[in-house]
Structure formats: C-alpha cells, structure tokens
Amino acid sequence: MFASGLLQGRRALITGGGSGLGLAIARRYAELGADLVLVGRRAAVLEAAAEGIRADHGVAVDCFPCDVRNADAVEAMMDQAFQSRPLDILVNSAAGNFLARSETLSPRAIDAVVDIVLKGGANVTLAAGRRWIAAGMPAAVLCILTQSALTGAPYKLPSAMAKAGVLAMIRSLAVEWGPAGIRLNGIAPGPFPTEGAFGRLRPEGTDLPPAEAGVALGRTGRPQELADLATFLVSDGAGYITGEVLAIDGGRRLEGAAGPELPALRSWTPETWAALRNLGRQPAAA
Ligand code: HXC
C-alpha cells in the first residue's frame, strides 16, 4: 500500500505505544522506516514492544516511561526525546475509559480519564509543539479519538468529554500552528478488538451484542487498517490535510444514524419489497 521507506528518516513519538492501537501504529511506522520513541506508564510493556520492533524492523526505538498526566514529567521526557534528534511525528494514543452510570462517577473517576486523554494529550502536544516552533520545524500530530467526540457516549461520559476536548485542540492548533507547518488530525476508530478497549468496554460475562453488530461491513476493524490510515495522515501525501477527523469504523456511525428500523428493513423478503412497491400505485386504467 505504501512505498517501502516512506517514513525513512522520520522520528515518531507514540504515547500508549507499548500496546493496543498505539503499538499497531508503532509497528507500521517502523516497517516503513521510522525511528520510534515509545511512551507509556509501564516500562516493561514499552521495553517488550521495543525489543520486538527492533528485531523485526531494525529501526532505533527509545522507550520513555512517563505518565502523560504529569506536565513536568512530560517536559523532562520531551527534553530527552529531542536531545538525540528532533521528532517529526507525534501520535497521541494513550487513553483511559470504562463503563459506568454517569451519576455514580466520583470526581476522581472523571479526573482519571480526563487527565490522561485531554490534559495528557495537551501536555504532550504543547511540549512537542513549542520545540517544533522554536526550531522552525514542520511536523505532524495525530490523535486517536472516537466518534463520541462528535456524538457523545452514554455510559462513557468522561471519555466522550475528554475526546471532544482533544478534537477542539486539534481544530484550534491546526489553525494556530498551520503557518508553522504543523498539521494536526484525528482518527475516530469504530470497534477494534484491543485488550485495553474491549477489556473495559466489553467486559467478559456481560450480555452485550457481538462487537461487529451494527457495523455495516459486518466485522470489527483490523489494527493494521487503522495503522495504514495513521501512516497516510502523517505522511507527505496528506500534506494538505489538517484539522480533520477521519472515521475508520466500517460504517458503524452511519448505521446508528439510520435508526432502529434498519434491522427490520434488512430482514424484509423480496415479496415484502414487491408489495411495498405496489402500495399506493394507481391500478392501470382499463
Ligand atoms: C467507576 C471507576 C472505574 C469504573 C476506575 N474508577 N474504574 N469508577 N467505574 N469502572 C475510578 C476509581 O474508583 C477512582 O476513583 C478513579 O477512577 C481512579 O481510579 P484508579 O484506578 O486509581 O486510576 P488509574 O490507575 O489512573 O486508572 C485510570 C483508569 C484505568 C482510566 C481508571 O482504567 C486505566 O488506566 N486505563 C488505561 C487503559 C484504558 O483504559 N484503555 C482503554 C482505552 S479504550 P475513587 O473516587 O474511587 O478514588 C478507549 C476507547 C474509547 O479509550 C471509546 C470511547 C467511546
């Protein structure tokens, strides 16, 4: 799909890069020649991911254990990350989410998610941005959102609020930093079966319908598919795209919008459709 070496000479920092969608993106960027900086809370998870990537793709991979909620720690991490060679790409993939009735959420529960997704995303993006601006470097930022940034998400209130804030950040900075050659875009994934998302949002033992239910294409997403979109958006091929959010959800957002009659319409027989076609037609004149 992409020319080999597409990201050769680029250096990408990926938060949440040790697992889930962040790791899928890291692997794809490495496959296309990018050097990586993996950031996450768990050093062992980052190191294990980095070892695999180095072995498979031979690129340089640095690991910086860092909690993105802590602005001072992010500044120190970013100093270290830029020290050997400046970054060209930032992917905000670190996230937190869980299912809860909103009226039961404690202030700390809201903080836990908003601090990771919104404040963490801002901490990292601003720390990278001020270095790019000071150095006069162009760059690309990609944030993993969800459709809930646009629609809200019942029972996932803190995540929906936080992702909506990240979308506002993308749109604000795309304009503010456009003259500096810094592009910011988002991806809104549908159901991708990662442990982090599915473990919390589709807990075992619950009676939720299968993840592919409500997806027009009839299946969950493959991390590789998301990684390809993430590659395109940070590549030169997307050089005129900024402030945009692209859904990759097999049509799920549109199925929801189609309304509750959709399953019935899908199950109608040809006879029902034929009867419907004739309904209300004037009988032919004798
Ligand atoms: C209610 C909960 C809760 C739950 C935690 N809390 N889980 N409240 N229901 N299921 C509350 C705790 O009771 C506590 O408040 C507060 O949140 C902080 O919890 P901690 O466990 O101390 O916080 P922390 O260790 O920082 O954990 C953060 C976390 C955790 C977000 C709660 O799940 C996490 O680290 N997740 C990271 C990975 C992840 O979630 N990945 C999913 C990404 S999927 P009190 O008041 O009791 O002290 C994704 C898809 C988006 O983002 C789709 C959107 C629609």
Q: Which residues contact 262 (CB under 8 A, 6 or more apart)?
A: 255
Q: What is the pLDDT of residues 32-60, one digit of tens each?
A: 999 999 999 999 999 999 999 999 999 99
Cβ–ligand 1 distance for 96 under 6 Å, the answer: yes
Residue 279 lies in a domain: no
For 265, list phi and psi in degrees, rounded to 5: -60, -40
Instruction: Please report the pLDDT score of residue 1 as a whole number.
Output: 86
DSSP H helices, 85-142, are 107-114, 120-135
Residue 280's pLDDT band (boundaries 50, 70, 90)? confident
Q: Which of 2-11, 124-133, 195-204, 207-216 has the lowest mean pLDDT?
A: 195-204
Tell me what the mean pLDDT of segment 141-152 comes to. Answer: 97
Q: Token digits for 8?
A: 């050769």
Return mean pLDDT, the chain: 96
Is the predicted pLDDT of residue 285 greater than 80, yes or no?
A: no
Q: Which of 191, 245, 141, 256 is nearest to 21 (CA)?
A: 191
Cβ–ligand 1 distance for 156 under 6 Å, the answer: yes
Ligand 1 atom nearest residue 96's Cα: 40
Residue 101 lies in a domain: yes
Is the predicted pLDDT of residue 251 greater than 70, yes or no?
A: yes
Is the predicted pLDDT of residue 110 greater than 90, yes or no?
A: yes
Cα 94 to averaged position of ligand 1 atoms, centre (Å): 12
Dihedral angle over CA of 69, 75, 78, 83, nearest 10: -160
Residue 268 lies in a domain: no
Q: Which of 19-23, 87-91, 196-200, 225-229 has the lowest mean pLDDT?
A: 196-200
Place of tokens 């909506």: 164
Residue 269 lies in a domain: no
Tell me what the mean pLDDT of segment 214-222 comes to. Answer: 97
CA 22/CA 14 separation, integer angstroms: 7
Tell me what the mean pLDDT of segment 214-219 comes to. Answer: 97
Instruction: Please report the pLDDT score of residue 205 as a whole number.
Output: 87
From atom 31 of ligand 1, which residue's Cα is the shortest distance away?
A: 96
Residue 2 lies in a domain: no
CA 184/CA 178 separation, integer angstroms: 9
The CATH code of the domain that includes 129 is 3.40.50.720
Which residue out of 97, 148, 163, 198 has the highest number of ligand 1 atoms within 8 Å of its CB and is therefore the one to mutate?
97
**Within the chain, what is the greatest distance between any pair of CA atoms?**
89
Residue 213 lies in a domain: yes
Tell me what the mean pLDDT of segment 188-193 comes to. Answer: 96
Question: Which residues, in sequence order, are bridge partners of residue 143?
Answer: 92, 186
DSSP 186: E
Instruction: Please report the pLDDT score of residue 286 as a whole number.
Output: 61
Instruction: Please report the pLDDT score of residue 149 as a whole number.
Output: 96
Question: Which residues, in sequence order, are bridge partners of residue 141?
Answer: 90, 184
Cβ–ligand 1 distance for 253 under 6 Å, the answer: no
Dihedral angle over CA of 213, 15, 133, 115, nearest 10: 80
Instruction: Please report the pLDDT score of residue 282 as a whole number.
Output: 73
Number of domains in the chain: 1
Is the predicted pLDDT of residue 79 greater than 70, yes or no?
A: yes
The predicted model scores a pTM of 0.96
From atom 25 of ligand 1, which residue's Cα is the shortest distance away?
A: 112
The separation between CA 108 and the C-alpha centre of its own chain, rounded to angstroms, equals 24
From atom 2 of ligand 1, which residue's Cα is the shortest distance away?
A: 109
CA 128/CA 132 separation, integer angstroms: 6
Which amino acid is located at 203 in the chain? P
Is the predicted pLDDT of residue 199 greater than 90, yes or no?
A: no
CA count, 13 A, side-chain hemisphere, 143 = 35
Cα 93 to averaged position of ligand 1 atoms, centre (Å): 16
Residue 5's pLDDT band (boundaries 50, 70, 90)? very high
Cα 167 to averaged position of ligand 1 atoms, centre (Å): 21
Cβ–ligand 1 distance for 197 under 6 Å, the answer: yes
Residue 267 lies in a domain: no
Tell me what the mean pLDDT of segment 216-245 comes to. Answer: 98
Cβ–ligand 1 distance for 198 under 6 Å, the answer: no
Residue 233 lies in a domain: yes
Is the predicted pLDDT of residue 94 greater than 90, yes or no?
A: yes
Domain region containing 79: 11-259
Q: What is the ipTM of this complex?
A: 0.95
Instruction: Please report the pLDDT score of residue 194 as a whole number.
Output: 92
From atom 11 of ligand 1, which residue's Cα is the shortest distance away?
A: 109
The separation between CA 74 and the C-alpha centre of its own chain, rounded to angstroms, equals 20
Instruction: Please report the pLDDT score of residue 236 as a whole number.
Output: 97
Is the predicted pLDDT of residue 284 greater than 80, yes or no?
A: no
Which residue out of 200, 249, 252 has the highest number of ligand 1 atoms within 8 Å of its CB and is therefore the one to mutate?
200
Q: What percent of the chain has pLDDT over 70?
A: 99
Cα 253 to averaged position of ligand 1 atoms, centre (Å): 25
Q: Which residues contact 131 (CB under 8 A, 6 or more apart)?
A: 78, 82, 86, 87, 137
